[in-house]
Amino acid sequence: MLVTERGGQLKRVSADGAAVSAPISGMPAVDSGGQGGLLDVAVAADFATSRRVYLSFAEAGSGAEAGRNGTAVGTGVLNAGFTALSGWTVLFRQTPKVAGTQNHYGGRLVLSGDGHLFVTLGERSISSERGRAQDLSAGHGKVMRIRATDGGAPGDNPFVSTSGAQATIWSYGHRNPQGAALHPTTGELWTSEHGPQGGDEVNRTLPGRNYGWPLVSYGCEYGTPVGNCTPVGGASTGAGFEPPLTWWVPTSIAPSGMAFYTGDRFPEWKGNLFVGSLAGKALWRITLNGNAVASREALFTSLNERIRDVRQGPDGWLYVLTDNTSGRIVRIVR
């Protein structure tokens, strides 16, 4: 397993969990303040031969952009000994970089299997920036779809021919999407994102759709009365906005990584969606009826740990990654 750490380290964990490597060399410089640092890691489908990995990270600006920061994505080749990354190349940078915040980077990566890479981007949290989630010329509050080879925009992206729009945009109107996974049957991208005070969402993230932030929301401004407040934007839905499949109110669970379960170890869970939560300190199991949410429940609350990610292992078990002071990988078995 490959695990990123906020300070900029990438480490290898043995399959049995018994050994954790020293930090792998050749990593990019990261801005590790606030919610920044080294974010997600994705492994190419042909990793056995290509040894290629992709990393997202918070990047400090330089030159004219000094004092600013933003999310970036790069790729490199991991040597056979899992000790060094070489050929590091930055494929994508969120633009424009912003000053005054170290929050809401997004940064989840999903390889789509057709040579493309999805990248989630937060709207950077401060009131002066969050309106850019609705601005197609800005890379805030978006999901991007780029070519995994060079970071360019695929020709069938929804806004590739829209004047003034960033051609890599897949969807917009997001707040801070920190979870993403491909539906195992449809191949569609699903994401989870943080609301403000309440209003966390799981979305079917379709091309060209507007998910509403900050014009509509199920959540309220921080500090308003819990359970008795006006949602951000004044309404929870409206014409032209894609509604979430499920949401959490009146307080937030802070959803993180997510995964669809397709294994045989837990046949009763096959087809379920699992979503980690940070503030909620639980693994949420969501049952589906097609694209509709049928039920949901919070599991493993007794761990009392922030769950940063969840993945199905090649052995069919579920693995969760916690990010407490003594973060750990927990394997879920019968």
Query: Tens digit of pLDDT per residue, the chain (334 long)?
Result: 999 999 999 999 999 999 999 999 999 999 999 999 999 999 999 999 999 999 999 999 999 999 999 999 999 999 999 999 999 999 999 999 999 999 999 999 999 999 999 999 999 999 999 999 999 999 999 999 999 999 999 999 999 999 999 999 999 999 999 999 999 999 999 999 999 999 999 999 999 999 999 999 999 999 999 999 999 999 999 999 999 999 999 999 999 999 999 999 999 999 999 999 999 999 999 999 999 999 999 999 999 999 999 999 999 999 999 998 779 999 999 9
- The token duo for 39 is 């974010």
pTM for the model stands at 0.98
Q: Which domains does the chain have, with CATH numbers?
A: 2-252 (2.120.10.30), 254-334 (2.40.10)
Name the DSSP letter for residue 205. -
Half-sphere exposure of 156 (CA within 13 A, CB side): 4
Q: What are phi and psi of 285, to 5 degrees?
A: -105, 120
Which class for 317: exposed (0-12), middle (13-18), buried (19 or more C-beta within 10 A)? middle
Neighbours of 86 (CB within 10 A): 11
Burial 230-249 (b: 16+ CB within 10 A, else e): ebbbeebeeeebbbbbbbbb
The set of residues, in sequence order, having a beta carbon less than 8 Å from that of 163 and lying 6+ positions away, is: none
Q: Which amino acid is at 70?
A: G
The answer to whether 261 and 274 are in contact (CB under 8 A) is yes
| Residue of 100, 82, 60, 64 lying closest to 14 (CA atoms) | 82
Radius of gyration in angstroms for the set of CA atoms belonging to the chain, rounded to a whole number: 19
**CA 44 to CA 223: how far, in whole Å?**
43
Mean pLDDT, the chain, rounded, equals 97
Distances (CA, A) of 326 to 38, 306, 309, 321, 329: 17, 11, 15, 11, 10
Which of 104, 116, 140, 194 does the annotation list as catalytic?
A: 104
pLDDT at position 87 is 98
pLDDT of 147-170, one tens digit each? 999 999 999 999 999 999 999 999
State residue 31 phi and psi, 5-degree precision. -95, 105
**Bridge-based pairing state of the strands 169-172 and 142-147:** antiparallel
**DSSP class of 27:** P
Burial 165-192 (b: 16+ CB within 10 A, else e): bbbbbbbbbbbbbbbbbbeeeeeebbbb
Active site residue 194: no
Q: What is the pLDDT of residue 326?
A: 77
Ramachandran angles phi, psi of 125, nearest 5°: 80, -35
DSSP code of residue 326: T
Q: Which amino acid is at 60?
A: A
Distance of alpha carbon 297 from alpha carbon 45, whole angstroms: 32
Gap between the Cα atoms of 300 and 328, Å rounded: 14
Query: Residue with structure tokens 């922030």?
Result: 306
| Phi and psi angles of residue 309, each rounded to the nearest 5 degrees, phi first | -155, 160
What Cα–Cα distance (Å) separates residue 118 from each residue in 21, 52, 54, 110, 231? Answer: 28, 16, 11, 5, 29
Q: Percent of the chain at pLDDT above 70?
A: 100
Identify the pLDDT of residue 325: 76
Query: Which phi-psi region, left, alpha or beta, contains residue 127 (left: φ > 0; alpha: ψ -120 to 50)?
Result: alpha
